[in-house]
Amino acid sequence: MTDKTIPTRDRLIFAMDVPDCDRARMLADELGDAVTFYKIGLELMMSGGYFELLDWMLARDKKVFCDLKFFDIPATVGSAVRQLQDRGASFVTVHGNQSIMEAAAENKGDTLKVLGVTVLTSLDRGDLDDLGFDCDVGELVLSRARRALEAGCDGVISSGLEVARLRQFIDEKLLVITPGIRPVDNKPEGDQKRVVTVEKAFASGADYIVVGRPIRDAASPRAAAEAIQATIAAQVGDS
């Protein structure tokens, strides 16, 4: 477990994967103070009103993670991050090679943190073979995390299955944000293949977890979020 000073309730990032911004606002109102940190991604970006939603969340004292996975030539990625640096978001994701991550880091400003994507939790060994990565998944995650840190990124997105190795071999200052979380041990579902529980993620050294479907699709999203918050508090204590 890491010793970074992070408010306990901020460690849960809810993945706001809904079709439009009206639905996002309704769900955020339903969740209330059970969630303090939201991830808004490409689906909402393409629905229209993305930055209005960002401003709406910030006005309600929520933190926002813009999960846009910028992947283009370095100059374009750098310009895109520069456009975002003063919008109030806490995190943004980038994909790609060293020069792409360097361009993002050089343009992030003083408050926006850049997260490098290591290996998507929707990919397994067979998928990596199809993509031409002839190496162990864990080694690929380590390699990309090292490159992200060298490029000036603040952290990485990593499956909980690889977090312990990151903590063993990568500088502790690196933020690790872990998606693919399931509240209990069960089989992977939907598009997530490499999943872990809340307890395992934090025991392995994650700083934040990203949870979507188990909250969004619960009979009571607020109750589901509060249950996860209680589990986090039991793992990391109140801060």
What does the pLDDT look like over 78-127, one tens digit per residue? 999 999 999 999 999 999 889 999 999 999 999 999 999 986 555 455 54
Question: Residue 137: pLDDT above 80?
Answer: no
Nearest in space to 208 (alpha carbons), one of 171, 145, 163, 170: 163
What is the band of 196 on the pLDDT scale with cuts at 50, 70, 90?
confident
Q: Is 69 a catalytic residue?
A: yes
Domain of residue 85, CATH code: 3.20.20.70
H-helix or E-strand spanning residue 99:
helix 98-106
Domain assignment of residue 2, yes or no? no
Distance separating alpha carbons of residues 83 and 85, to the nearest angstrom: 6
Crossing angle of helices 160-169 and 137-151, rounded to 10° = 60
Question: Residue 193: pLDDT above 70?
Answer: no
Considering the candidates 4, 62, 63, 69, report the single residue annotated as catalytic. 69
List, for residues 148-192, the tens digit of each pLDDT value. Answer: 999 999 999 998 888 998 999 898 889 999 998 877 554 545 544
List, for residues 6-31, the tens digit of each pLDDT value. Answer: 999 999 999 999 999 999 999 999 99
Q: Which residue has the higher pLDDT, 125 or 34?
A: 34
Distance separating alpha carbons of residues 29 and 141, to the nearest angstrom: 36
Question: Residue 131: pLDDT above 50?
Answer: no
Write out the residue range of the structural domain in which residue 18 sits.
8-236
How much is the pLDDT for 160? 86
Question: Residue 128: pLDDT above 90?
Answer: no
Question: Residue 234: pLDDT above 60?
Answer: yes
- The whole model's pTM is what? 0.89
Domain assignment of residue 161, yes or no? yes
- Distances in Å between the alpha carbon of 90 and those of 40, 93, 108, 114, 226? 12, 11, 10, 9, 22
User: Mean pLDDT throughout 210-227?
Assistant: 96
Residue 92, number of CB atoms within 10 A of its CB: 24
User: Mean pLDDT throughout 32-61?
Assistant: 97
> How many distinct structural domains can be found in the chain?
1
